Structure 1
Amino acid sequence: MIKREAGRFVIEGPITFASVRALLEAGRREMATCDGEVRVDLSRVTEADSTAVSLLLHWLRDARRRGTAFAVLNPPQSVTGLARVYGVAEMLGLPDA
């Protein structure tokens, strides 16, 4: 589920193969109405697999197409670690360590 809170898009629950398609579309709908920076807060993600990285890359691409800044906030270690393995952590603005 995606909720708007204090200028952020907060993802609640799992980001897994089972949930990623619905999250992708819901996020695209929400972010299409955003004029400023897209800030995705992952602090309430309960589980994440490699599809979480794919989801963030899709949203980053969408934001760039619209000329909108994109930021990932509070990524779980699992997402940061996978992004490092895939070589996209820097692209997503995720921490190095």
Structure 2
Amino acid sequence: MGQACVKRDDSGVARVEGDLDFVSVVPLVKLPDWLFTETKDPVIDLAGVEHANSAGVALLLEWMADARRDGRRLRFVNLPDSLRRLAALSHLEALLGIEDDSRR
């Protein structure tokens, strides 16, 4: 899929689409301002991510750190297997809040 982007759906959920790799995450480091206009604790849906490497995990951590600095909490849903495996290998599941996201 290549270039990644964050799009807003009708319910205000942020949907990430594309690959999260070392090149594509750079323009995504700063979350869009609209993400926090409707809710203090927004949801980021990663179902549209087809491939991710460690840069994708780093991006999620950066987003969480930014949100926490503003007193907010992000919730990630529908993580692709590549992100889930990297988070598990790095022992970051609990920090990212994804330990049982898709095991429901």
Whether these two folds match at TM > 0.5 is: yes
Higher helix content, 1 or 2? 1
Q: Which of the residues 87, 91, 95 maps onto 1:87? A: 91
Q: Which runs of 4+ in 1 moved over 4 A?
A: 32-35
Give the drift of 1:23. 1.4
CA contact (8 A) 1:38 1:63 kept: no
Higher strand content, 1 or 2? 1
Give the drift of 1:37. 1.0
Q: Which of the residues 12, 19, 30 maps onto 1:14? A: 19
Instruction: Work out the number of aligned pairs and report it.
Output: 96
For the aligned residue pairs, the C-alpha RMSD in angstroms reads 1.8
With normalisation by structure 1, the TM-score equals 0.87
With normalisation by structure 2, the TM-score equals 0.82
Letter in structure 2 aligned against 1:20: V
Which structure 1 residue ranges, 5 or more long, are not aligned? Answer: none
Q: Percent identity?
A: 34
